[in-house]
């Protein structure tokens, strides 16, 4: 299996690359400079410079891009670009998503970022990521969007365990919604290999 990871030099992208390589998957980093590559194989591209030809030989493409501050508006156009260049391709797009767009009820009338107490500083990020998810829903490419738990902890341990949930925010028996970056990476590579949730948004937590 061959996969490409856009933003492989980021905190989550690098862990996904490492997890995939350990399993014998051939990984190509797509990064903006060669010095940022975390794998031996790489393409130097800004996301908007990636072409259909660049991705044609991959079984899966992971979008691990992170936009923050004023750059959160890039989630929508960057996702639109990836959809356009993957049309008609056999490559599947898997997105490192956010928790803010998870639903708080079964009726799907309220999302986490709309709930009382959600940090104002993070709302624009969650809203833009949610809009990008809606673009995928309306597309005709093969995609999977994986949202982490509400507490997405880079420094937490790698347990090797996780629970797959759906579109709603879920918690463990202690009422906690949490997962480590390392265990999220395991979940992502499992989904790449097993292809259980095509054209779906899922969430993962401990």
pLDDT by residue for the chain (206 residues), tens only, comes to 999 999 999 999 999 999 999 999 999 999 999 999 999 999 999 999 999 999 999 999 999 999 999 999 999 999 999 999 999 999 999 999 999 999 999 999 999 999 999 999 999 999 999 999 999 999 999 999 999 999 999 999 999 999 999 999 999 999 999 999 999 999 999 999 999 999 999 999 99
Structure tokens at 201: 């948004």
DSSP string over 2-29 = EEEEETTTSHHHHHHHHHHHHTT-EEEE
Burial label for 28, CB within 10 Å (0-12, 13-18, 19+), is buried
Element (H, E) at 165: strand 163-165
DSSP-derived 3-state class of residue 154: coil
């Amino acid at each position: 299996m061959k996969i490409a990871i856009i933003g492989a030099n980021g905190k989550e992208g690098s862990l996904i690359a490492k997890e995939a390589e350990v399993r014998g998957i051939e990984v190509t980093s797509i990064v903006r400079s060669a010095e940022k590559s975390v794998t031996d194989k790489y393409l130097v591209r800004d996301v908007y410079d990636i072409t259909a030809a660049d991705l044609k030989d991959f079984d899966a493409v992971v979008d691990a891009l992170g936009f923050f501050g004023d750059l959160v508006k890039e989630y929508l156009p960057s996702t639109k670009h990836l959809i356009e260049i993957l049309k008609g391709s056999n490559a599947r797009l898997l997105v490192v998503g956010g928790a803010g767009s998870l639903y708080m009820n079964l009726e799907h009338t309220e999302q986490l970022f709309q709930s009382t107490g959600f940090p104002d500083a993070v709302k624009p990020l969650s809203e833009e990521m949610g809009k990008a998810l809606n673009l995928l829903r309306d597309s005709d490419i093969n995609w999977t969007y994986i949202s982490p738990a509400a507490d997405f902890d880079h420094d937490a341990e790698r347990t090797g365990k996780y629970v797959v949930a759906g579109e709603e925010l879920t918690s463990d028996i202690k009422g906690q919604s949490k997962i480590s970056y390392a265990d999220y990476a395991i979940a992502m590579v499992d989904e790449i290999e097993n292809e259980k949730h095509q054209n779906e948004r899922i969430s993962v937590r401990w």
